[in-house]
Amino acid sequence: MNPAIAPAVSENAPHPVDEVLPAGKLVALGIQHVLVMYAGAVAVPLIIGSALKLPVEQIALLITADLFICGVTSIIQSLGLTPWFGIRMPVMMGMTFASVTPMIAIATTPGMGLQDIFGAIIAAGVFGLLIVPFACRLMGMFPPVVTGSVITIIGISLMQVGIQWAVGGAWLKPMIADTSPHAAAGSLVPNPAYASMENLGIALFVLVVILFISKFGRSFLKNISVLIGLVLGSVAAALLGLMHFDQVAKADAFHLVMPFQFGAPQFAIGPIVTLCVVELVVFVESAGMFFALGDIVGRKVGRTELGRGLRVDALGTILAGMFNTFPTTSFSQNIGLVGMTGVRSRWVTVTGGVIMLLLGLMPKLGALVAAIPQPVLGGTGIAMFGMVAATGIRILSEVDYKNNRNNLLIVALGIGFGMIPLVAPQFFIHFPEVLAPMLHSGILLTAVVAFLLNAYFNGFGTLDAKGLRDREHAAEDGAKLR
């Protein structure tokens, strides 16, 4: 059975999303989710800290706060908090990459710094909370031809990350020996380990392990095939001398995450407007991910569910600014894992959130996870991220192309525009810098283009009031099973 196609649920049985698994399975599956997202979760504070040339101790504070907030928001998103927060599906929360370039620009502006970033993050989170009702009302204007295109481009965009992991990182890397104040400009050199036979061999080994277990393993082994692949791949990398534990020895055993460790936040209009735009980008990307996840786990996402999910994105962003980390978003990597393993229980990601929270409080454990080489993650990423794209393609297969050939054009141009940041990163180089968060997001470009073309060709009534009610009634039926 294809795990991405959710089977029907018995009326008497709890929905698989609400199933509470045995403790041992929850821990194993939760660790699997954490390992899949960890590299992406810590990448944002590492990039920001390095770009701003912060001391190692301050970068460590950013990372521990990052892991702590990722854990707290993952628990809220999956478990739910009051009737207003939490989509109550298996979601892991991380830091959005859409905010990286704007935050570096803010911090490097004369007279501004980290305190201005954190103030703008808090304000952007408040802005997000205020616009959630409006964002949810737009849901009826996103029929399958639009959502399928967005979900497909999410998977394609993630494949770029998975492949980069597999080859051992970016082709160009910073010259570590150059520690001068101006080292950031022109200090990139070719990565000697890029696409080496060792890196490609480890990625292939991990992928083969996952495929073997997926075919021959028993039920629970199949569910943790990614975890087994990561463990065996890490062992192989350690034997080859590619896994190092220096940072594990240096890390503290315990660190209490405190708010406002970098001082009181500053609220400047320019940075606030910039990060409010980023929050809009996050909402569009998260909505696409929620629709994809709902399709995978067999629980429809109506206005109520979408609103609860987006509110956690906004709440997490407010908490991130208070605890000195960066805007949060729902991580699409883990949606691919859900589709690949077929494990739909939200209690797995609640457990994953607890583990992330503990990693934030115990830096030594976080350093151990961070020691996993990128090619090990790459072997898992190629399989998982392809599952997200496959889900989008399956949704697009339900679109009527025979009687409405314009739908082909909507899909073609929607995905085509979404590919621009992937195949031509400098395409918008002469556009205003303030538009960078939008123009460099393939997901947002696909959403906007597909949405506008659908309105142009099909009007705003493609998903009429009855269709929207059907969606919401399906979501209510799922809620009755909780």
pTM over 0.75? The answer is yes
Q: Is the model more confident about 215 or about 252?
A: 215
The C-alpha angle with vertex 350 and arms to 348 and 352, in degrees rounded to 5, equals 70
CA distances from 379 to 28, 168, 261 (A): 19, 11, 37
User: What pLDDT is stored for residue 397 in this prediction?
Assistant: 92
Beta strands in 4-100 (DSSP E): 93-95
CA atoms within 13 A of residue 427's CA, in its CB half-sphere: 15
> Residue 188 forms beta bridges with which residues?
174
User: What pLDDT is stored for residue 285 in this prediction?
Assistant: 82
User: What pLDDT is stored for residue 464 in this prediction?
Assistant: 41
* 88-98 pLDDT tens trace: 999 999 988 77
Percentage of the chain lying above the pLDDT 70 cut? 89
Q: Is residue 446 pLDDT above 80, yes or no?
A: yes
Number of H helices, E strands in the chain: 20, 4
> Residue 416 forms beta bridges with which residues?
none
In angstroms, rounded to a whole number, what is the distance separating the alpha carbons of residues 271 and 122? 11
Mean pLDDT of 374-389: 86
Say which range, 99-103, 160-164, 245-249, 293-297, has the weakest mean pLDDT.
99-103
* 420-439 pLDDT tens trace: 999 998 999 999 876 777 78
* 32-76 pLDDT tens trace: 999 988 877 888 887 788 777 788 778 888 989 999 999 999 999
Element (H, E) at 330: strand 328-330
In angstroms, rounded to a whole number, what is the distance separating the alpha carbons of residues 4 and 468? 23
pLDDT-based confidence at residue 480 (cuts at 50, 70, 90) = very low
Amino acid at 229: G
